[in-house]
């Protein structure tokens, strides 16, 4: 079957329910799925944030200090480290006044990959290109 | 793409569905989503009923809430779980639950 | 005959989404399809054995057992489950425990995927 | 301390989360609380439904037949049987086109008490008269 | 009555707060409710900030989300858990969480 | 010194409302107040002992034990808990199990009540 492309679309905000956080950790799991697949088979998620899903992506999160729980920021950095494509909806960031430089990167951990601010049309395209769509 | 969207709530805080495009779009009202098919707000039917001609509502979830299939807007086809399985496999190729 | 994989995150009780998953899986299996179910989030709490079926509350156990008998594969997110204090020996028999990649692997081989986010 | 009045205000719809259902069962528990209180002490909840909370109150619910779970209708009837005051917001019923005769009573079980359709102002009054307000 | 309302979500599907009256109304933004105090939508601050002069936002929940106390609208007082306890017992007599 | 009773319905993990309750109770007790906590709904699942504290997940057990040491009374809705398959011997020690009227009785003797509905 070769590669199967997936679009993970996160529309619920972080720190409300578990869903939007689990979207990220499930996407990261693509890295270890090969142990359960035939040789040559892969799964490639594209992680997209839209609507209220773009909230909770800002850097400087003190979740571990204050609540002893891994921050979304840390999870996002891990995504970049394992080379996942992360798209954040440009229109929705503008709507909430969140600029690109307010979001984290993982340069300090050696990741080249960066969060990509993308128009909704590009997220729509990711959904069209994917075999399956998963809404979180 | 042929996309079936399951709508499981009445009041939605997402506008994703407004922006999604699909060559064939289906909306399947389940759980409290069935109110979109049965209930008007200030006399107006849900705007989701204008999104597509392919509208379905789950009979079991309508009846659970004390309503009848006859209460459903004429544009919406009442389906049961078995029908939903056929829709999933025969009519659409991608699914979303919002 | 085709394969449907369902990701179910909502809790067992109150939110009727869990009941939907159980019913949908039953209907699909009865039509000869293959079904996989992945539990994460609050749904992971539902693999605890010995649920008392009080009439005021939805129950999972008896339905999950019946689905497994019909060939449905069910797996719970191990991390989500142990974080809730539930260990594998306390779980419902024949439900699998695995990491999140189990879900992705099942998706790889599926014709349809329905991901149901939680509360 | 004598009687303590409570206003239970249900704003979430039935059959979505557990909260709106637990509001009803917790209110019913007022009937047995005396075993934990001093003689002469009582708790009197008024159960109010507002907003989306008025959804799911219609009669003829098949929840037990279809999902093997007690319907909200049955819980409401139990409220009336134990003589609880149940107020349903008139404006919100009108908004959703739900008429008074679409709601259950418990006459067949011998209850005189009926659900009372009340303007929001009466629900506001119940909150003012209560010592504590509980939102569900 | 002196009523403190805890607002724990950003997008609300309830209009209860719009209709509630109190002699003294306080709004305490907690959890994702803090976005009402920090975030504008299409350039507009949350309408809840016009409901009362007694507005509070929980510092721990602002910082958890990567924002700073300085990001908070000037009308809102930043408080910590200890302050919330004092508000509960000293400033208000009834509480609601929506 | 006054008494606060908190009704907590949301689940342990994901929804940060549960964490709020734990922190608020701690802050109130540290100021010399009496606190009672009632768990129902998904929160009832959080009285299971032996929760593994993975960093990705909130945990209740150690915080609840610390609160109990400081005199906080915590009680879980027995029906909500057994419906989730958790029996009293599996629960965290010193957490009480009772019917919903426990909550109403504590409310009767309270100066303030904060009811936090669930998901």
CA max distance for chain D: 45
Q: Which stretches of chain D sit within 8 Å of chain F by CB? A: 1, 4, 6, 12, 17-20, 22-23, 25-26, 28-30, 32-33, 35-37, 41, 43, 45, 132-136
- Whether residue D55 and residue B39 make contact (CB cut-off 8 A), yes or no, is yes
pLDDT less than 50: residues of chain A: none
pLDDT per residue as tens digits for the range D43-65 = 999 999 999 999 999 999 999 99
Q: Which residue has the tokens 């829709």?
A: B87
How many angstroms separate the CA atoms of C61 and C59, rounded? 6
Instruction: Judge whether C42 is closer than 8 Å to chain F, CB to CB.
Output: yes
Q: Which of A25, E11, C117 is nearest to B98 (CA)?
A: C117
Beta strand segments in C12-119, E? 34-39, 73-77, 96-98, 112-116
- Structural domain count, chain E: 1
Mean model confidence pLDDT for chain C: 97
Structure tokens at A2: 């070769």
Supply the pLDDT for residue C52.
Answer: 96
Instruction: Judge whether F15 is closer than 8 Å to chain D, CB to CB.
Output: no
3 state SS for chain F: CCEEEEEECCCCCCCCHHHHHHHHHHHHHHCCCEEEEEECHHHHHHHECCCCCCCCCCCCHHHHHHHHHCCCEEEEEHHHHHCCCCCHHHECCCCEEECCHHHHHHHHCCCEEEEECCC
What distance in Å separates residue A6's CA from the closest CA in chain E?
28
**Surface-to-core class of residue D42, CB atoms within 10 Å of its CB (0-12 exposed, 13-18 middle, 19+ buried):** middle
The total of other beta-carbon atoms located within 10 Å of residue A39's CB is: 5
How many angstroms separate the CA atoms of D43 and D33, rounded? 8
CATH of the domain at E67: 3.40.1260.10
pLDDT per residue as tens digits for the range E60-74 = 999 999 999 999 999
Beta strand segments in E15-84, E? 24-29, 54-58, 77-79
How many angstroms separate the CA atoms of C90 and F105, rounded? 34
CATH class name, domain C3-117 = alpha beta
Measured in whole angstroms, the distance separating CA D135 from the mean position of its chain's CA atoms is 12
Instruction: Judge whether B2 is closer than 8 Å to chain D, CB to CB.
Output: no
When pLDDT is averaged across residues D80-106 and rounded to a whole number, the result is 97
How many angstroms separate the CA atoms of E38 and E68, rounded? 9
Instruction: Judge whether A15 is closer than 8 Å to chain E, CB to CB.
Output: yes
CATH architecture of A3-135: 3-Layer(aba) Sandwich (3.40)
Q: Which residues of A touch E31 (CB under 8 A)?
A: 15-16
Domain boundaries, chain D: 3-135
Instruction: Judge whether F107 is closer than 8 Å to chain C, CB to CB.
Output: no
Instruction: Judge whether C56 is closer than 8 Å to chain D, CB to CB.
Output: yes
Instruction: Please give chain F's pLDDT, 119 residues, in tens.
Output: 999 999 999 999 998 999 999 999 999 999 999 999 999 999 999 999 999 999 999 999 999 999 999 999 999 999 999 999 999 999 999 999 999 999 999 999 999 999 999 88
Of A56, A66, A95, the CB nearest to E60: A66
Instruction: List B44's β-bridge partners, or say none.
Output: B41
Q: Which residue of F has its CA nearest to D45?
A: F104
Q: Which residue of C has its CA nearest to D74?
A: C56
How many angstroms separate the CA atoms of C75 and B76, rounded? 35
Beta strand segments in chain A, E? 3-10, 42-49, 85-89, 116-118, 132-135
How many angstroms separate the CA atoms of C50 and C1, rounded? 33
Full residue range of the structural domain in which residue E22 is found = 2-97
Q: Which residue has the tokens 């002490």?
A: D41
Instruction: Judge whether C91 is closer than 8 Å to chain F, CB to CB.
Output: no
Instruction: Judge whether D15 is closer than 8 Å to chain E, CB to CB.
Output: no
Which chains does F contact via 3+ CB–CB distances below 8 A? A, C, D, E
Is residue C39 within 8 A of residue C77, CB to CB? The reply is: yes
Q: Do chains F and B touch (3 or more CB pairs under 8 A)?
A: no
Instruction: Judge whether C118 is closer than 8 Å to chain A, CB to CB.
Output: yes
Is residue A121 within 8 A of residue A93, CB to CB? The reply is: no
When pLDDT is averaged across residues D40-45 and rounded to a whole number, the result is 98
How many angstroms separate the CA atoms of B1 and A132, rounded? 10
User: Which of left, alpha, beta for A98 (phi over 0: left; psi -120 to 50: alpha)?
Assistant: beta
ipTM over 0.90: yes
How many angstroms separate the CA atoms of D17 and C114, rounded? 21
Supply the pLDDT for residue D1.
Answer: 75
Of E11, E64, E66, the CB nearest to A67: E64
- Report the sign of the C-alpha dihedral through residues E91, E96, E97, F3, in that order: positive
Supply the pLDDT for residue F119.
Answer: 83
A-to-E residue pairs, Cβ atoms closer than 8 angstroms: 55
Measured in whole angstroms, the distance separating CA D65 from the mean position of its chain's CA atoms is 23
Q: Which residue of F has its CA nearest to E88?
A: F112
Q: Which residue of F has its CA nearest to C15?
A: F119
Q: Which residues of C touch A33 (CB under 8 A)?
A: 101, 104-105, 108
Cα distances (Å, whole numbers) of residue C101 to A44, A53, A94, B98: 12, 23, 34, 23
Instruction: Judge whether E11 is closer than 8 Å to chain B, CB to CB.
Output: yes
User: Which of left, alpha, beta for B31 (phi over 0: left; psi -120 to 50: alpha)?
Assistant: left
- Whether residue A61 and residue E66 make contact (CB cut-off 8 A), yes or no, is yes
Q: Which residues of C touch D68 (CB under 8 A)?
A: 53, 55, 58-59
Supply the pLDDT for residue C32.
Answer: 98
Q: Residue D32 pLDDT > 90, yes or no? A: yes
When pLDDT is averaged across residues E13-23 and rounded to a whole number, the result is 92
If you ran DSSP here, which 8-state letter would residue A15 be given? T
What distance in Å separates residue C1's CA from the closest CA in chain F?
34
């Amino acid at each position: 079957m070769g590669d199967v492309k997936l679009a993970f679309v996160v529309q619920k905000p972080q720190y409300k329910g578990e869903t939007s956080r689990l979207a990220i950790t499930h996407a990261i799991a693509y890295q270890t799925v090969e142990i359960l697949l035939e040789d040559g088979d892969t799964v490639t998620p594209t992680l997209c944030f839209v609507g209220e899903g773009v909230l909770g992506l800002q850097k400087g999160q003190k979740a571990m200090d204050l609540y002893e729980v891994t921050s979304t920021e840390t999870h996002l950095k891990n995504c970049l480290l394992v080379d996942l494509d992360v798209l954040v909806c440009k229109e929705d960031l503008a709507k909430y006044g969140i600029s690109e430089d307010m979001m984290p990167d993982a340069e300090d951990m050696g990741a080249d990959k960066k969060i990509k601010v993308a128009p909704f049309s590009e997220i729509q395209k990711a959904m069209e290109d994917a075999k399956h769509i998963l809404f979180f | 793409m042929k996309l079936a969207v399951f709508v499981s709530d009445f009041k939605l805080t997402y506008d994703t569905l407004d922006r999604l495009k699909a060559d064939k779009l289906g909306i399947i009202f389940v759980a409290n989503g069935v109110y979109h098919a049965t209930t008007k707000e200030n006399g107006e039917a849900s705007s989701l009923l204008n999104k597509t001609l392919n509208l379905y509502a789950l009979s079991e979830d309508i009846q659970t809430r004390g309503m009848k299939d006859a209460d459903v807007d004429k544009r919406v086809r009442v389906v049961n779980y078995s029908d939903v399985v056929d829709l999933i496999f025969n009519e659409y190729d991608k699914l979303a639950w919002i | 005959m085709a394969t449907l994989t369902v990701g179910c995150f909502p809790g067992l009780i109150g939110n009727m989404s869990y009941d939907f998953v159980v019913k949908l899986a039953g209907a699909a299996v009865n039509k000869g399809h293959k079904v996989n179910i992945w539990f994460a989030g609050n749904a992971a709490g539902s693999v605890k054995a010995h649920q008392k079926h009080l009439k005021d509350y939805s129950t999972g156990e008896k339905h999950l057992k019946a689905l497994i008998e019909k060939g449905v594969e069910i797996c719970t997110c191990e991390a989500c489950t142990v974080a809730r204090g539930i260990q594998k020996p306390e779980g419902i028999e024949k439900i699998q425990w695995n990491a999140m990649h189990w879900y992705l692997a099942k998706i790889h081989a599926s014709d349809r995927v329905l991901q149901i986010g939680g509360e």
